[in-house]
């Protein structure tokens, strides 16, 4: 499988950082705690974000993220530089979180409705909208949430998602469309999806 | 044709419509509005920012990595954030930094460049990466957070260089070039001071700076006792 940065990747390393990455990795392979810390500082938010969203809850996220880092540091000597380190690390984080989630019994509490009356003032729209979206994603059924995150947030293709989840790309697509529709319902609960005559009457206001 | 189902519209966010769907969309404003809402929703999801791990995450990870033998103990202690939680300690650190920067740093390093790095003292084969120590003005929390993160990363780079210099010279106890060592400490201080300007109350930044200053003071004290012709 080709290892490329996901299209949705937004990481923009500061200028000059690429010069030191291989140096850091080499030091980290030798067990240098400072080098590992530097890699952690650089990539922890990205790793934590994808793991947190896959986990769907804070309580699990930190454990999953730490497990991802342990795996990555353990596997660091096998990193040959064929892909960018960030891409390699991100895939380890995704696989680690998915595997941990399979082990955990988290198939409850997914359908709880969103709290009502979440205000979205224009001046703080981005922050509150982000919070609203995160909370809605947490309430998606696990399969839908995973596909939505991997495709719409992280930018993986359906083929790549199929490999992550062990499903066909068609299944991934189907889950994605259901997830988007479910998100629409969660974000705008007063409308009734699929009910003829009501579609579009209340557009999602952002 | 009736309205398009919500799942069909969700598909049309990323796929082309069939001719029949295209005709319906041309005629049905309700479905167009719903599709537009789904497109905006997808765009917003795709723009979600990364998330900072909870406080203490690195300390917990470091303990696990150490317990599994994946990292070795650092030669230069990095103080844990929790050591540095009281306000008066942070204020004291700022005072120490100010005094240390003016009393100890000025004119003491004849062979050290303005950026705090001693090019002449660089061991052969070792690539020193310039550590910038410039504080940019910030006006909001997001920019300030980014600045603090960058400054911390700069500090870590400087510290890494320090360790490399020590390794190249056989370890801290065998360091044979005091100018190089002092220059490395100065690089750490420069990056740390930049971090302090961005985040004067950040406990981590204050902690590492005081550690670096203590290291520098100890070094200067030792140098003054062991050498009669030191320049400082």
- The torsion of the CA quartet A160, A162, A166, A171, rounded to 10 degrees, works out to 170
* pLDDT for residue B119 is more than 90: no
- Give how far B107 is from chain A: nearest CA, Å: 30
Asked if residue B3 has pLDDT above 70, the reply is yes
**Whether pLDDT at A66 is above 90:** yes
pLDDT, one tens digit per residue, over B182-215 is: 777 777 888 777 777 777 767 677 777 777 777 7
If pLDDT is split at 50, 70 and 90, which confidence band does B232 have? very low
Minimum Cα–Cα distance from B76: chain A residue? A34
Q: Return phi, psi of residue B100, to 5°.
A: -65, -40
Task: Find the range with the poorest average confidence among A6-20, A109-123, A156-170.
Answer: A109-123
pLDDT for B199 equals 72
Chain B nearest C-alpha distance from A200 (Å): 4
State both tokens at A132.
């609203």
> Which sequence spans correspond to the domains of chain B?
6-46, 81-226
Nearest CA in chain A to B151: A41
**Residue A32 to residue B42, Cβ atoms within 8 A:** no
Highest mean pLDDT among A77-86, A100-109, A152-161: A152-161
Cβ contacts (< 8 Å) between A43 and chain B: which residues? none
Per CB-CB distance under 8 Å, the chain B contacts of A199 are: 3-4, 6, 9, 30-31, 34
pLDDT in tens, A103-135: 875 455 454 444 443 333 333 446 778 889 999
Query: Least CB-CB distance to A204: which of B10, B40, B62?
Result: B40
The residue in chain B having the minimum alpha-carbon distance to the alpha carbon of residue A193 is: B6
Task: Name all domains of chain A by residue range, CATH numbers in brackets.
Answer: 18-104 (1.10.1740.10), 121-188 (1.10.10.10)
- Cβ <8 Å between B45 and A148: yes
* Local confidence band at B108 (pLDDT 50, 70, 90 cut-offs): very low
pLDDT tier at B146, thresholds 50, 70, 90: low
Report residue A112: phi and psi, to 5°.
Answer: -60, 140
When pLDDT is cut at 50, 70 and 90, the band that residue B229 belongs to is very low
Most B-contacting residue of A195, A203, A205, A206 (CB-CB within 10 A), to test interface: A203
Of A1-5, A163-167, B22-26, give the lowest mean pLDDT range.
A1-5
**pLDDT at residue B98 tops 70:** no
Q: Which whole number is the average pLDDT over B168-183?
A: 64
Nearest to A199 among B3, B129, B159 (CB): B3
């Amino acid at each position: 499988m080709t290892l490329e940065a996901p299209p949705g990747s937004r990481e923009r390393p500061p200028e000059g950082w690429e010069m030191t990455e291989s140096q850091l990795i080499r030091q980290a392979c030798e067990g240098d705690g400072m080098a590992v810390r530097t890699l952690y500082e650089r990539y922890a938010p990205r790793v934590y974000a994808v793991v947190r969203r896959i986990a769907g809850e804070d309580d699990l996220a930190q454990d999953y993220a730490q497990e991802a880092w342990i795996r990555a540091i353990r596997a660091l000597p096998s990193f040959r530089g064929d892909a960018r380190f960030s891409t390699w690390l991100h895939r380890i984080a995704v696989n680690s979180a998915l595997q941990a989630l399979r082990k955990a019994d988290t198939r409850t509490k997914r359908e709880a409705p969103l709290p009502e009356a979440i205000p979205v003032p224009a001046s703080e729209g981005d922050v509150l909208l982000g919070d609203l979206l995160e909370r809605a994603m947490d309430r998606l059924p696990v399969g839908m949430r995973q596909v939505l995150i991997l495709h719409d947030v992280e930018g993986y293709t359906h083929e790549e998602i199929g490999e992550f989840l062990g499903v066909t790309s068609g299944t991934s697509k189907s889950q994605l469309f259901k997830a988007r529709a479910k998100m629409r319902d969660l974000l705008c609960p007063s409308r009734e999806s699929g009910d003829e005559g009501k579609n579009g009457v209340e557009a999602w206001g952002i | 044709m009736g309205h398009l189902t919500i799942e069909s519209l969700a598909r049309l966010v990323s796929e082309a419509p069939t001719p029949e769907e295209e005709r319906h969309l041309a005629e049905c404003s309700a479905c167009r509005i719903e599709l537009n809402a789904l497109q905006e929703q997808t765009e917003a999801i795709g723009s979600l920012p990364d998330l900072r791990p909870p406080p203490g995450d690195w300390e917990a990870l470091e303990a696990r990595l150490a317990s599994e033998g994946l990292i070795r103990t650092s030669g230069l202690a990095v103080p844990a954030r929790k050591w540095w939680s009281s306000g008066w300690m942070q204020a004291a650190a700022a005072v120490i930094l100010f005094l240390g920067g003016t009393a100890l740093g000025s004119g003491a390093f004849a062979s050290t460049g303005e950026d705090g790095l001693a090019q002449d003292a660089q061991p052969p084969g070792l690539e020193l990466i310039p550590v910038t120590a410039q504080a940019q003005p910030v006006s909001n929390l997001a920019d300030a957070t980014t600045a603090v993160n960058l400054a911390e990363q700069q500090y870590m780079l400087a510290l890494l260089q320090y360790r490399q210099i020590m390794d190249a010279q056989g370890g801290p106890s065998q360091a044979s070039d005091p100018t190089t060592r002092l220059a490395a400490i100065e690089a750490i201080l420069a990056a740390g001071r930049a971090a302090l300007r961005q985040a004067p109350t950040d406990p981590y930044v204050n902690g590492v700076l005081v550690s670096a200053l203590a290291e520098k003071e100890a070094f200067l004290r030792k140098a003054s006792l062991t050498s009669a012709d030191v320049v400082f």
